[in-house]
Structure 1
Amino acid sequence: MTTLKQTEQVVMLAILRKQPDAYGVSIYEELETRLTKAVPMATIYATLETLEKKGFIKSKMGEATAERGGRAKMFFEITGKGQSTLHASINALDRLRAGTKLAGAMA
């Protein structure tokens, strides 16, 4: 089984939430909102590159837009392999934490 780092998991979850509009800034904004902290754009783009090299996500170039000075956005989506790996990784974490109670944790 391939395991995912926490950063890979959260970026993939953000992609799922933002599809079909998952691109760098929308992923950043989703993570900032959901995690209540900013994840550096460099970290997001490095993670996207790693995930694509592993075959867990794929990218496609969108249309150039005037509001972006004629530049196009790069959109991301999770592959079947990525979905299976994310599912397995989250399930493994759930099994590990099942029945545990963190000292001092709020319910």
Structure 2
Amino acid sequence: MTDKSCPITPGVPDLSTIETVSLNPENTLQNYQKAMVIAKEQAEQRLEEYMLISWYDRDRDFESPPNTTEKSDDGPKDGYIHYGLNHGAKLKVDIENGRFVFFFTPIEW
């Protein structure tokens, strides 16, 4: 029996507790480094002091921390999402519809 009142799909990360910023620059970004500059600007505006927790670069199909996706098939990587959420991420910056994705947490002193 399925509980239809549950808004969370099993296996899909719940991003409802974090702010998500989706950006689509007019000019396609050249690489990950350019995306990182933009993502850090967004984090600084929203969090002041912050730490990058995890990220994904679809061009290279690389996630950080590496090997956090525990799948044997060729499905999309999502370990970086779970890692970010489980380590206090409060901001997700998605650039070019998932091409580059960054998770940040505020630093609280």
Q: Which has the higher contact order (CA 8 A, sep 6+)?
A: 2
Of Structure 1 and Structure 2, the greater helix share is in: 1
**TM-score (norm. length: structure 2):** 0.27
Of Structure 1 and Structure 2, the greater strand share is in: 2
Please identify the structure whose Cα radius of gyration is greater. 1
**TM-score (norm. length: structure 1):** 0.28
